[in-house]
Amino acid sequence: MTTNDGAWMELGPDWPDLRDQVRRICEKFPQEYWHELDEKSEYPDAFVNALTESGYLAALIPEEYGGSGLPLRAASVILETIHASGCSAAACHAQMYIMGTLLRHGSEAQKQQYLPKIATGELRLQAFGVTEPTTGSDTTQLKTRAVREGEEYVINGQKIWTSRARQSDLMLLLARTTSPDEVKKRTDGLSVFLVDLREVVGKGCEIRPIKTMVNHNTNEVFFDNMRIPASALIGDEGRGFKYILSGMNAERVLVASEAIGDGKWFIEKGVAYSNERVVFGSAIGSNQAVQHPIARAYAEIQAADMMVRQGAALFQAGLDCGEAANIAKMLASEAAWHAAEACFTAHGGFAFAREYHIERKWRECRLFQTAPISTNMILNYVAQNVLGLPRSY
């Protein structure tokens, strides 16, 4: 693989043994399990516990803190395999990349206190409080405030789309500690806190679930004079935006891997049904109108997969991977959606029947083009930061 600066890099192993191990876990959670959870809007505790006990959610935590110390590509393979098996990692994937802020920017005392317990599952860190109702993707304009009072911070504000907050013990929270009119750059004056939800819910923190078309356990979170210890601050005050940004490329790669997995699932289902379903005396897969969308989606998945691997390799090497990670996320989300559409169309009316489980995965797959970053935001990034086009306002 040639990077954008002309250097050659190895893409790394494809981890076949790891794929087999994860696949065996997923076999214990068939489509009926996910169908029942979707019907009841329940959290997949049994599945998350199985992944935790097997150590897969601690894949990126270094060995000295009780994790596996695996590279990003290995974590990418874990999530891809989960989705290719028909399962969903949305309930727990954030733990893989959220802990990166603590690992890279937390104090040694904080890492010793939290990472080993996160690795064993004693503590869950799966909630990420960033997005707000009035600011959306413009993180620099967030309004949640954290004011230092002695050995505490007092926090007021609101977050939205904070998934898994009700199932998490800890939440990574981004809040403004310096007013926008007192900083030189909009990205200054933001700070990151590791909030112990067990201590604050009902004491200045309220979590309200949001009903959505997919079972992602997402919420609004309200802060009303919520007090947390000053020791909850990660790194230096005012540098939180940079800390959060440093983990977003890993997030892009990992979420793109899930989309790749979904795309592979849809293609497998689409091919199988197109070979089995006979209409007018021949398999529907013999018609090019059925063949070509599936074949095109397969080609797009293969191409997006190479971008995912490039992003992971650059990240692991400590090189700038923003371009590769963002493009991987965009291409993977679109390829997965094309695979979903091709599979849905091939199944015709049966795709609407819940017993085939296609409609559930189809709904879940659409989210990749919107979150955690939308396709248009990625195009803005590429246009302005890669191609040098003027910033849009």
Q: For residue 60, give its domain range.
A: 16-124
Statement to judge: residues 364 and 280 lie in one domain: yes
Q: How confident is the model at residue 180 (pLDDT cuts 50, 70, 90)?
A: confident
Statement to judge: residues 119 and 144 lie in one domain: no
Q: Work out the average pLDDT over 55-73.
A: 96
Q: Percentage of the chain with pLDDT > 90?
A: 88
pLDDT at 211 over 90: yes
Q: Would 363 be classed as within a structural domain?
A: yes
Q: Work out the average pLDDT over 293-316.
A: 96
pLDDT at 7 over 60: no
Statement to judge: residues 130 and 224 lie in one domain: yes
| Least confidently predicted of 122-126, 186-190, 353-357, 389-393 | 389-393
Q: Work out the average pLDDT over 195-218.
A: 95
Statement to judge: residues 194 and 228 lie in one domain: yes
Q: How confident is the model at residue 8 (pLDDT cuts 50, 70, 90)?
A: low
Domain count, the chain: 3
CATH number at residue 26: 1.10.540.10
Statement to judge: residues 279 and 324 lie in one domain: yes
Residues 99-121 have pLDDT tens digits of 999 999 999 999 999 999 999 99
Statement to judge: residues 382 and 253 lie in one domain: yes
CATH number at residue 229: 2.40.110.10
Statement to judge: residues 209 and 281 lie in one domain: no
Residues 338-349 have pLDDT tens digits of 999 999 999 999
Mean pLDDT of the chain: 94
Residues 264-280 have pLDDT tens digits of 999 999 999 999 999 99
HEC profile for the chain?
CECCCCCECCCCCCCHHHHHHHHHHHCCCCHHHHHHHHHHCCCCHHHHHHHHHCCHHHCCCCHHHCCCCCCHHHHHHHHHHHHHCCCCCCCCCHHHHHHHHHHHHCCHHHHHHHHHHHHHCCCCEEEEECCCCCCCCCHHHCCCEEEEECCEEEEEEEEECCCCHHHCCEEEEEEECCCHHHCCCCCCCEEEEEEEHHHHECCCEEEEECCCCCCCCCEEEEEEEEEEEHHHEECCCCEHHHHHHHHHHHHHHHHHHHHHHHHHHHHHHHHHHHHHCEECCEEHHHCHHHHHHHHHHHHHHHHHHHHHHHHHHHHHCCCCCHHHHHHHHHHHHHHHHHHHHHHHHHHHHHHHCHHHCHHHHHHHHHHHHCCCCCHHHHHHHHHHHHCCCCCCC
